[in-house]
Amino acid sequence: MTVFSYSYFETRQHRQRLTSWLLGTSDPTGVRPGHTPAMHRIWDISPPVGTESPVFPGDTPYSQAWSATITEACPVNVSRITFSPHVGAHADAPLHYDGQGEAIGALDLAPYLGPCRVIHAIGKGPLITREHIAHALRDLPARVLVRTCERAPVERWDPNLVSFAAEAIEQLAALGVRLVGIDTASIDPAESKELPSHQAIRRLGLRVLENLVLDDVPEGDYELIALPLKLMTADASPVRAVLRELQPASRSGASS
């Protein structure tokens, strides 16, 4: 009933909590009158998705057509889009690398949301090994994204993409990691048929994000937000992946 929802937010405390939530502040006491809240910086780590987006050779590129367009008789534009769920930043489901695996919409969302470390292994390819990430494994959160390049190739297919050595995946899993991500199109070499890193995450129950853009992200800890769509039969899903800083930056003009 509307009466209930209106009265729920009627108290000052509830209004403050709602404002705090909308502003992205984690201050449980809410926002004080006249106080400018510190904002958590956000890094968009998703490439643009469109007809120029690269795809694995033979995979389905992005295309779009119009089912309806605005005219005197029609008040809206409505498109239809076709593309592989591996275009752009995406999460692979077990169904992608296991005939009996779960579809993406059936997965628990917890691995895709929470504390995350970005580790730099720039120019270390073609395989990221344990040695390349060894400097950043202390007190590891459950999510690890590895930046392998200065600039992710968001407009061309890279046949020499950098990927993980399975031993690096195994080490991260042993340290409690539940999700790994990379700024290339795959965690295995493009020409690989055995897919040892995909098989490692299948065996160890890890989740994976691919095609991230970590160009502007310093090494360090963040909050990851990269939720897959609830596609109940698909082998992967696009995600809008972002990193949010853990400690809000102090802003000039903010009162204490």
Q: Which residues are known to be catalytic? A: 96
Of 183 and 210, the one with the shorter C-beta distance to Zn ion is 210
Residue linked to tokens 């060894």: 134
Minimum gap (Å) between residue 195 Cβ and Zn ion: 11
Q: What is the H or E stretch that residue 222 is in?
A: strand 220-225
Complex with Zn ion: residue 61 or 248, whichever CB lies closer = 61
Pick the closer one to Zn ion by CB: 86 or 117: 86
Select 31 or 166, whichever has its Cβ closest to Zn ion. 166
Residues that bind Zn ion (CB under 5 A): 86, 92, 210
Q: State the nearest-atom distance from the C-beta of 90 to Zn ion, in Å.
A: 6
* Least distance in angstroms from the C-beta of 201 to Zn ion: 11
Task: Answer whether 63's CB lies under 8 Å from 74's CB.
Answer: no
Looking at residue 207, the DSSP 8-state letter turns out to be E
Report which secondary-structure segment, H or E, holds 206.
none
Contact in structure between 90 and 239 (CB atoms under 8 Å)? yes
Closest-by-Cβ residue to Zn ion is 86
Least distance to Zn ion, CB of residue 208, Å: 7
Burial (Cβ within 10 Å: 0-12, 13-18, ≥19) of residue 61: middle
Can you say whether residue 76 is alpha, beta or left, with left for phi > 0 and alpha for psi between -120 and 50 degrees?
beta
State the Cα–Cα distance between residues 156 and 54, nearest whole angstrom: 5
CA pair distance 86, 237, nearest whole angstrom: 7
Nearer Cβ to Zn ion, position 30 or 94?
94
Contact between 89 and 212 under an 8 Å Cβ cutoff? The reply is yes
Question: C-beta of 175: minimal distance to Zn ion in Å?
Answer: 24
